[in-house]
Amino acid sequence: MQVAMAITIKNVSDVDTLGDADFKKHVKLKPAQLPMLTIVPSPNALPSVPLERQMVGFQPSPLTSPSQDLHSSIHSSTTSSTLYSCSSATSSNNASSEEYLLGSEVVPAAASKQVEVLQLFDFVTNSGFPVSPDFYDRCLIGIADTLELSEFLNAFRVIGSIFEKLQVLETAPSSEAFEKTVLFLCRQTRWIAQHKQVLESRCYGGSVCVEQLAKIRSFYDANKSMNLLASFLKRFWNSYERNLSSEFYHEVLSAISQYGSSDDLLMVYDHMQRCSIPETAQTFISLIRGFGRAKDLTVAIECFNEYKRSFNTLPAHSSYDVYAALVTACFDCDDSDRAVKFFARLEQEDEGDVPPSLIYIFGQRFAELGEFDKAMSWLERLQQMKSTSSLVPKLGSTILNNAAQKRVSTVVDKLLEMIPLKAFRKEYVALMNYFLYLAATKQFTAFINDSNDYLRSLSMWTNCTFKEAYLGLIQNGRLNDALDVLEHHVSTPVVDSHFDVDNPTLQKAILEDFWSCLSLNSEKMDSSLRILLMLQNQPHYFVLNYAAELAVCFLASQDPSAPCDSELWSYLFEYLCFTICKVPQNSEHLESLRNTFSFVVKHNIPLTIRDHALVHKVFNTYSTQLKGIKSFDELLAPYRMPSVDIAMMRNAFPSRSALRSHIPKIEIESSGEIIPVLEGIVDRATAVRFYNRVAKAHYNGKLFLPTVYILLSQTLIKFNLFGAVEKMRMYSLTLQKEMMPHFKRHAELFQAAILDTQLASFAMQKKNKQAFRLKNTIARLGYYPSASSYAHIISNIVDSKEHDDAAEALRFFKEAKEHNVRPSVFLYNTVLSKLGRARRTSECITLFEEMKSLGLVPSSVTYGTVINAACRIGDETLAEELFEEMEQQPNYQARVAPYNTIIQFEIQVLHNRDKALKYYERLRKHKIKPSTHTYKLLLDAYGTLEPVDFVAVQGVMRSMEHNKCALQAMHYSAYMRICGCIMKKMNEARKTYKAALSMHQQGNLTLDGYLFQTYIDVLVANGHIDEISEVIKDMEKHEIRLNAYIVNSLITGFFKAKQIETARYFYNCLDGEGIYGKEPSTYETMAKAYLGCGDRKNALRVLEELSKRKFPEAVVKRVADSIMFRNHS
């Protein structure tokens, strides 16, 4: 359960006499379902919230605690962290800061939610909070229980810092914290060492693996980790004696045996004996391996002998694991002879029944030592045993890997006679070295025959480009063979969950290394065609360093009388355009493009361009550099992409007879009935009926004309039937497939038109990524979106507080115009709306005039938009001129919205009731039905402008009832404000507020935040601050969330009551999960409240918070100027 703020007054009658300090004693935090005042973020929220927004759950409420130290520290900190949560918030008046951070339920709950304790530790220690050892315990436990392995570096730092602080305090962590921390260090050390080993096997060539390995090597040292672990053990574990588990000791011994020192190993073992921890076989395995690593074979053997003496007292186990440890120790100490003698004695005692794993160790270690005869003999023994299917190729790969690196041909040949090459298909490093060995020893025939099935997967694992092999082939006159191998190398698909390599990057590296092996121009010319064909077959473009040179060589190799097919030339053309875009201002690439075009034009080679947008971009950007090309304009014309416009497609599709002859499934007659209906005005029921008809036909194997799918999809969008639009796209795929073999160009046009409707659907749903992905897909088909889709993009996607909406709208509008998208009234209306909201009225009017010059007839929506723009900047003359023009338009279709706009302007900006009422009369003259907003404006006209006509206000309320216009929350709010704030009729305002709540209970009214905000304003205006708590309860009851404007009113009210801490509390509440966040006005109101109290320091802190938010710079400057002006005043 989240912690929510609910206010409880012990004795309402006492409130009038309570001051701020007393008020806090009577108000408490309690668990409650109050969404709008939730002050602790949800545990499932994403971990990306600034710290001051996370720590709210740990703060003492200003309503419950006089301490403000934590509150101030939090808001002065710039540290960031992730979400913190707690199950409950229990606090007392005398609670310290630490108790809030370390309350009995805070850290355990945090740990269970994987809280990033590292940031919590940094925040607390940097902020200077007084902390107890209990805090360090909880941090250690949180790190050990929840931290990802990849966070080891930060954890290592924090654990080291805690160790130092505990030493200063001369205290030890709890046994739980100690044990978990030590085991965490063991796990982390083992994980990083293993990760490092894997990366080392993959770093033959340059890649991301090389970068990761370099990073690990630069910051990770196993000795440091083991030293910290040993320091913890030496300093603290005498404090626990028998409190540590046997599993703890065995885990620590195992880790130290692999990565620590022999002294630390003995220290752990001695402590085990002092604490009477029972030994197991694993104890001796760790000791033997550890001393073997330390090159102390004598002690390792002593440990083995002690194992034999203790054998009967140990739990059941396999002795061979201990034997394997001793053999490994002998090899680690360079005493292989002793290992062999031990094995002979063991074999004699067990009558030859030894496990294959022990034999594998001998073969592996002899192979690593380069003693291949001995390694091969152990391999032969292993082959003769049963159940060794996995160990034989594993040992064979070790021998192959080492023998190939050392170029020992006899061993390699003998090994491959014993084990087929395919048995090593997953042993990537060994196979890589084998193929490099073949190239180095000039066994090119074997390399060519064997490598095709393996090179791609080997490169993906090891990042080896096999440059040495290609160089050997080319230098020995086998260029064609090298190209054959290269084609398999870069083209063969590999599907394997092991691989996480960026394929284009790897293929680019392979192709560039191959080109670097070509030293002669003739070799490059002979290779250019093959390499271009390889590039053409790739699913991705990637920029080769030698792209320009490749084009030059390809041109030089061409026979003018019989040039290559047009598709390859088309690919080269697009590839050079791509390269120019990725490497701008490269004269070599531009020259290659010029030469390619010259060749194409000279020899009349037809081009088939797929990525029209790419070509168009290059020609537009580099038009000056490319103008020397003959017939430039003619070449560019085909790449000017049309937009997907159904009005321009009527004759674009094949004739009905042609479609019928190739696709007999098409219902020509039914399509002919549907199309005229869809071209007219269609209601929702008709659209759904046609959709069901298309769906039924689809499942019966029938199809319709392309225009039916397009028109129906556009109609479904109008009614927000987005699921049906997606289904229409699926139904259209069948027709596209049928059209493709016979009408490819028309099928692509049809596909683009359907995707255009889907794009509009995604835009309306604000699915930005999907919308822009479809926009790019349409461009690849050779088209641009329709004007309607651009309008939906501008209207729905370009809608963010973090960006300049007007600038974004103009950018998309300019793009549409550049690509010759046929303009529409809808498109102009959306852009005009964005400009009007941004108060860019001159641009708005210019665009409005442009629209009329194009022959587009402005609608009442258009006039409403430009009139609103004029009103926003206070230009009464312009607004009136536009209004007159609107009413004089032929076929004028009157709408209430423009009248509401200008009436509101007259009331709220010009404060002219007479003019407002004249426009109302004009509305009545045109027989336009007043809207609910119209009546609200009339209330404002009579109730807020002097002289106030309260009788007329009551008359408006009666008129609404007479005209059967249901009262809404905005009418109650307006009436309340007039009664309470202007007329000072507090009883009438209170009566209205209760009437609104009663109407809601009866189901006749929907409440909103503005109604509660208005009543709070009324209470503040009349000095009834004590009743605010009841309003908060009502908000809780009716699930009305806090917003910036309600909080502004609360801040103003509590400031006037000299309760600045309570005001700050509600200011903080806007940062909770599920709450509408702060607006610039909230920062302004809070800062001014502080200034009013003479607290300039906190006012500046609030201004600093504002500056860190992503509000437009102009907004931030306006608020800052306002605050500074107030400060100087």
The answer, yes or no, to whether residue 1063 has pLDDT greater than 90, is yes
Q: Can you give the pLDDT at residue 148?
A: 57
The answer, yes or no, to whether residue 847 has pLDDT greater than 50, is yes
Residue 80's φ and ψ, nearest 5 degrees, are: -110, 155
- pLDDT higher at 865 or 619: 865
Residue 505, CA distances (Å) to 494, 502, 509, 541, 1078 in order: 15, 5, 6, 10, 45
Question: Mean pLDDT across the stretch 65-69?
Answer: 31
Band (pLDDT 50/70/90 cuts) for residue 65 is: very low
- pLDDT higher at 395 or 159: 395
Q: How remote is the C-alpha of 13 from its chain's centroid?
A: 53
Q: Which of 572, 571, 570, 586 is nearest to 621 (CA)?
A: 586
Q: Can you give the pLDDT at residue 105?
A: 32
- pLDDT higher at 709 or 272: 709
Question: Mean pLDDT across the stretch 913-936?
Answer: 93
Q: Which range scores top for mean pLDDT: 66-75, 133-142, 424-433, 565-574?
A: 424-433
Q: What share of the chain is helix, strand, coil (3-state, %, to 5)?
A: 70, 0, 30
Q: Can you give the pLDDT at residue 96?
A: 35
Neighbour count for residue 1037 (Cβ, 10 Å): 10
Neighbour count for residue 440 (Cβ, 10 Å): 15
Q: Give the single-character DSSP code of 584.
A: T
Q: Can you give the pLDDT at residue 212?
A: 60
List of residues 6+ apart from 272 with CB closer than 8 A:
249, 279, 283
Contact 387, 355 (CB under 8 A): no
Which range, of 466-470, 538-542, 951-955, averages the lowest pLDDT? 538-542
Q: How far apart are CA 579 and CA 581, in angstroms?
A: 5
Which range, of 128-142, 329-343, 796-810, 908-922, averages the lowest pLDDT? 796-810
Average pLDDT, the chain: 79
Q: Can you give the pLDDT at residue 246?
A: 81
Q: Can you give the pLDDT at residue 731?
A: 93
The residue with tokens 């107890």 is 132
Contact 1043, 37 (CB under 8 A): no
Contact 100, 58 (CB under 8 A): yes
Q: How far apart are CA 528 and CA 554, in angstroms?
A: 5
- pLDDT higher at 38 or 992: 992
Residue 691's φ and ψ, nearest 5 degrees, are: -60, -45
Which range, of 425-434, 650-659, 957-966, averages the lowest pLDDT? 650-659
Question: Mean pLDDT across the stretch 152-166?
Answer: 78
Q: Can you give the pLDDT at residue 473?
A: 93
Residue 9, CA distances (Å) to 24, 1018, 1037, 1040 in order: 10, 21, 16, 21
Query: Token pair of 508, please?
Result: 């680019």
Three-class DSSP category at 847:
helix
pLDDT digits (tens, 9 = 90+) for 971-982: 999 999 999 999
Query: Token pair of 1105, please?
Result: 């918070």
Q: How far apart are CA 1053 and CA 185, in angstroms?
A: 55
Band (pLDDT 50/70/90 cuts) for residue 73 is: very low
Band (pLDDT 50/70/90 cuts) for residue 79 is: very low
Contact 545, 513 (CB under 8 A): no
Question: Mean pLDDT across the stretch 97-123?
Answer: 46
Residue type, 852: K
The residue with tokens 């060492």 is 193
The C-alpha torsion from 6 through 9 and 15 to 18, rounded to 10°, is: -80
Query: Token pair of 901, please?
Result: 């706009």
| Cis geometry, peptide bond prior to residue 173 (ω within 30 degrees of 0) | no
Band (pLDDT 50/70/90 cuts) for residue 499 is: low
Three-class DSSP category at 256:
helix
Q: Can you give the pLDDT at residue 268?
A: 85
- pLDDT higher at 608 or 339: 339
Tally of helices (H runs) and strands (E runs) in the chain: 60, 0
Q: Can you give the pLDDT at residue 1122?
A: 72
Q: Can you give the pLDDT at residue 161?
A: 84
Contact 668, 705 (CB under 8 A): yes
List of residues 6+ apart from 916 with CB closer than 8 A:
903, 906, 907, 937, 941
Which range, of 126-140, 853-867, 1016-1030, averages the lowest pLDDT? 126-140
- pLDDT higher at 1121 or 2: 1121
Q: How far apart are CA 268 and CA 279, in angstroms?
A: 12
The answer, yes or no, to whether residue 539 has pLDDT greater than 70, is no
The residue with tokens 């708005």 is 844
Q: Can you give the pLDDT at residue 507?
A: 83
List of residues 6+ apart from 107 with CB closer than 8 A:
115, 138, 141, 142
Q: How far apart are CA 1062 and CA 12, in angstroms?
A: 18
Q: Which residues pair with 4 in a beta bridge?
A: 38
pLDDT digits (tens, 9 = 90+) for 256-274: 888 888 888 888 888 888 8
Q: Can you give the pLDDT at residue 26?
A: 32
Q: Can you give the pLDDT at residue 205?
A: 53
Q: How many CA atoms lie within 13 A of 515 on its CB side?
A: 20
The answer, yes or no, to whether residue 699 has pLDDT greater than 80, is yes
Q: Can you give the pLDDT at residue 730?
A: 92
Q: Can you give the pLDDT at residue 911?
A: 92
Contact 713, 757 (CB under 8 A): yes
- pLDDT higher at 22 or 470: 470
Contact 897, 929 (CB under 8 A): no
pLDDT digits (tens, 9 = 90+) for 618-648: 776 776 666 655 444 455 454 445 566 655 5
Q: Can you give the pLDDT at residue 335?
A: 92
Please state the three-class secondary structure of 427-447 as a single string.
CHHHHHHHHHHHHHCCCHHHH
Q: How far apart are CA 190 and CA 229, in angstroms?
A: 13
Percent of all residues in the chain with a pLDDT value above 70, rounded to a whole number: 80
Q: How remote is the C-alpha of 773 from its chain's centroid?
A: 16
Q: How far apart are CA 448 and CA 439, in angstroms?
A: 10
Q: How remote is the C-alpha of 55 from its chain's centroid?
A: 24
Q: Which of 1122, 1009, 1029 is nearest to 1076 (CA)?
A: 1009
Q: Which helix (H) or strand (E) holds 8?
A: none
Q: List helix spans (H) across 926-983.
A: 932-944, 950-962, 969-977
Query: Token pair of 401, please?
Result: 């890997």
Q: Can you give the pLDDT at residue 599?
A: 84
Q: Which helix (H) or strand (E) holds 1030?
A: helix 1028-1037
Please state the three-class secondary structure of 147-174 as a single string.
CCHHHHHHHHHHHHHHHHHHHHHCCCCC
The answer, yes or no, to whether residue 214 has pLDDT greater than 80, is no
List of residues 6+ apart from 673 with CB closer than 8 A:
none
Question: Mean pLDDT across the stretch 919-942?
Answer: 93
Q: Can you give the pLDDT at residue 967?
A: 92
Q: Can you give the pLDDT at residue 108?
A: 35
Contact 971, 935 (CB under 8 A): yes
Contact 996, 1038 (CB under 8 A): no
Q: Which range scores top for mean pLDDT: 101-110, 497-506, 1029-1038?
A: 1029-1038
Three-class DSSP category at 805:
helix
Please state the three-class secondary structure of 686-755 as a single string.
HHHHHHHHHHHHHHCCCECCHHHHHHHHHHHHHCCCHHHHHHHHHHHHHHHHHHCCCCHHHHHHHHHHHH
Question: Mean pLDDT across the stretch 33-51?
Answer: 29
Q: Which long-range contacts (CB under 8 A, 24 or more apart) does 488-494 make?
A: 488/451, 488/452, 488/455, 488/456, 489/455, 489/456, 489/459, 490/456, 490/534, 490/538, 491/534, 491/537, 491/538, 492/452, 492/455, 492/456, 493/456, 494/456, 494/457, 494/460
- pLDDT higher at 166 or 367: 367
